[in-house]
Structure 1
Amino acid sequence: MDKGRLEAFSDGVLAIIITIMVLELKVPHGDGWNVLVQQWPVFLSYVLSFVYVGIYWNNHHHFLHAAEKVNGGVLWANLHLLFWLSLMPVTTGWMGENHFGQKPVAVYGFVLLMCALAWLPLQYCLIAANGGKSSLLARALGGDWKGKAAVAMYLSGILLAFVAPWMSCVLYATVAAIWFIPDRRIESRIKQ
């Protein structure tokens, strides 16, 4: 199967996710700085989620660039990832509107965790469809310390949300900072 349709569909879904998130930002009523300050939790949650969706889009692009073909398993694994990413606008809005309350922060972390876990079947299906363990993708990925660290930090963040939600948010932001730079392993393997 041609991977172009998968890329185009995924790009469209991710663009819609970002659009929905920005539409959740309400226009402040008033012209004072204090009106903007009241909106900081909503804006901050939007920025964090925008960065996350951007990270997934960027890494998805790099990953598919290294793949030569896709199959039905890849399509379903991709839909699984997109399902969890599509929940970002709801959890982002809930967390921001409730000023980073315990349950919204925990649920936000759960969605981040599920996005990270949904990446794994996509990764395995793409590797299998493109030559297995000897493929360019498999060689490029090697050990995935960032992925393992992210899962551990999300789990910690979910648990911490019931004690100190701000610490959870620091963990979520730390994972985003770790992944902000795209995964260069794939680019370097393609150049070789």
Structure 2
Amino acid sequence: MDKGRLEAFSDGVLAIIITIMVLELKAPVSASWQSLSKLWPTVLGYTLSYAYIAIYWSNHYKLIKQAKKISWKINWANISWLFFTSFIPFTTAWVTQTNFQPVPTLVYIFVFWITAIAYHLLMMAILPSKSLGEAFKMVFVKDKRAVWSLTFYTIGLFTALYWPLVTYLIIAVIAVYWIWPSHEIN
């Protein structure tokens, strides 16, 4: 498969995901600041989820550049990552419509956790290595952000039902952590 085809498909799916999320933003019915302020959960959820899509899109571009060719393994790893990413609009809508209640929060962070695992499996499929062990070492040992992100997502899974606010702080910190430039894997 041509790299351009995989990039175009991935870009299209991510664009649709953002479109679905933005369609959840409903304008207030009245022209007052009070009615606008009632939308804070939706705007906050959208902003956080949009940041994640933007981070993935940016990193995906850099990652695909490193592939010499698109193998069957890379193609299916990419499709799996896109599958889990496609749940972000659903979980974003659920948490914002329920004002960040514990169960939707758990599902929300679970989607981020499983999407991160799928993305790191895609990294392992793409980055040059002679063995699975070497690929694992390259992704999870060299790139400390992968280890820290998955560690904090796991903590967030445990805090979601009892301290949802802590879970959202974890999600936000991970987003800022990934926005910050890294020179480990470029």
TM-score between the two structures when normalised by the length of structure 2 = 0.91
Report the residue type matching 2:160 in the other structure.
Answer: A
Q: Distance between the aligned counterparts of 2:61 and 2:182, measured in 1?
A: 11
Does residue 1:174 correspond to 2:173, yes or no?
yes
Cα distance in 1, alignment partners of residues 17 and 184 from structure 2: 27
Whether the aligned pair in 2 keeps the contact of 1:42 and 1:97 (CA below 8 Å) is yes
1:6-35 Cα shifts (integer Å, max 9, x gaps):
000000000000000000111111011111
Q: How does 1:31-180 map to 2 (within 5 A)?
A: 31-127=31-127, 131-133=128-130, 143-180=142-179
**How much has 1:152 moved relative to structure 2?**
1.1
Report the equivalent of 1:190: none
Match of 2:19 in 1: 19
Unaligned 5+ segments in structure 1 are 188-192
SS of 1:185 mapped into structure 2: coil
Retained in 2: the 8 A contact 1:59–1:183? Answer: no
The answer to whether the Cα contact below 8 Å between 2:100 and 2:164 also exists between their aligned partners in 1 is yes
Q: In the alignment, is the contact (CA less than 8 A) between 1:11 and 1:57 conserved in 2?
A: yes
- CA gap 1:79/1:182 in 2 versus in 1, 3 angstroms: farther
* Aligned CA distance change for structure 1 residues 140 and 181 (closer, same or farther; 3 Å): farther
Contact residue 66 and residue 126 of structure 2 kept, 8 A: no
Distance in 2, Cα, partners of 1:182 & 1:19: 26
Does the residue aligned with 1:184 lie in a helix, a strand or coil?
Answer: coil
By how many angstroms is 1:182 displaced? Answer: 4.6
Task: Give structure 2 stretches of 5+ with no counterpart.
Answer: none
Letter in 1 for 2:166: M
Q: CA deviation at 1:66?
A: 2.1
How far apart in 2 are the matches of 1:115 and 1:69? 23
Task: Report the number of matched residues.
Answer: 181
Q: TM-score, normalised by structure 1?
A: 0.89
Q: Is contact 1:58-1:182 (8 Å) kept?
A: no
- Matching residue's letter, 1:174: V
Cα pair distance change 1:70/1:183, threshold 3 Å: farther
Asked if 1:184 corresponds to 2:178, the answer is no
Measure the CA separation in 2 of the matches of 1:145 and 1:152. 11
RMSD over aligned Cα, in angstroms? 1.8
CA apart distance, 1:140 = 7.8
Distance 2:175 2:92 in 1: 15
Residue 143 of structure 1 deviates from its aligned partner by: 1.0
Contact 1:10 1:82 in 2 (8 A): yes
SS in 2 for 1:28: coil
